[in-house]
Chain A
Amino acid sequence: GNSVTQMEGPVTLSEEAFLTINCTYTATGYPSLFWYVQYPGEGLQLLLKATKADDKGSNKGFEATYRKETTSFHLEKGSVQVSDSAVYFCALSDPGYGGSQGNLIFGKGTKLSVKP
């Protein structure tokens, strides 16, 4: 079945450090891929997306490239800020069938803490 695996946290970085959060997936067909962010005490916000191979999603300085050959969608940011402290979820959406059409399958989440 479809699944998402992302690196275990927590990840602790100093401000202005480079960030990589690894995400790999297993899927039938050609899924869309997403990164969601959950700030403390809040719901999920869509951070970026990619809908086909070699697409690069980007937002707020974060980037991720859909790599079909390695089934990966790693999240990167060149210089993190304290305000980036949050939990990051990688997810995929398969066109799917029936009632689960468009269902999101999430990784376990990676908690990022950025220290000043």
Chain B
Amino acid sequence: SAVISQKPSRDICQRGTSLTIQCQVDSQVTMMFWYRQQPGQSLTLIATANQGSEATYESGFVIDKFPISRPNLTFSTLTVSNMSPEDSSIYLCSVKGASSYEQYFGPGTRLTVT
């Protein structure tokens, strides 16, 4: 399985500001995803990060609020823009190989918005 790191591991931010979360993988992977886990809840997919093209967003998530970059096959960023307390969550990236079924997750970024 791939080794995945995320930065920052946690942050406390003021409403109205933006935070960029980085996801780094130790090997090239075909697919990268970004999930949100609200307090005490399950995981919800935000978007699929596509290398060299715009991310594919799930219903309820938009690019203006959650812009995503993926400049290469080992790195992606998720920005949480114009934050409000409702954005307080754990944000996780995951990776998947083209021929594999399973996804592997990073350790997550715990975001608190005050």
Contact = CB atoms under 8 A, between A and B. Distances in A.
Interface of A: 32, 34, 36, 42-46, 49, 51, 89, 93, 98-104, 106-109
Contact of B43 (A44, A98, A100, A102): A44
B31 A100 contact: no
B56 to A, nearest CB: 3
Question: Lowest 5 A-B CB distances belong to which pairs?
Answer: A99-B56, A43-B107, A44-B105, A32-B101, A43-B108
Interface string B27-67: 00001010000000111110110100001101000000000
Contacts, number: 60
Nearest to B41: A108
A109 B106 CA distance: 18
Interface residues of B, number: 25
B15 interface: no
B92 interface: yes
B86 interface: no
Interface in B1-34: 1, 31, 33
A104 B50 CA distance: 16
B45 A103 contact: yes
Contacts of A101: 31, 48
Interface in B41-100: 41-45, 47-48, 50, 55-56, 58, 92, 94, 96
Given A49-B102, A99-B50, 15 more contacts: A32-B102, A34-B102, A43-B107, A44-B43, A51-B101, A89-B43, A93-B102, A99-B55, A100-B45, A100-B48, A101-B31, A103-B45, A104-B103, A106-B43, A108-B42
Nearest to B50: A99
Given A43-B92, A89-B42, A103 B48 contact: yes
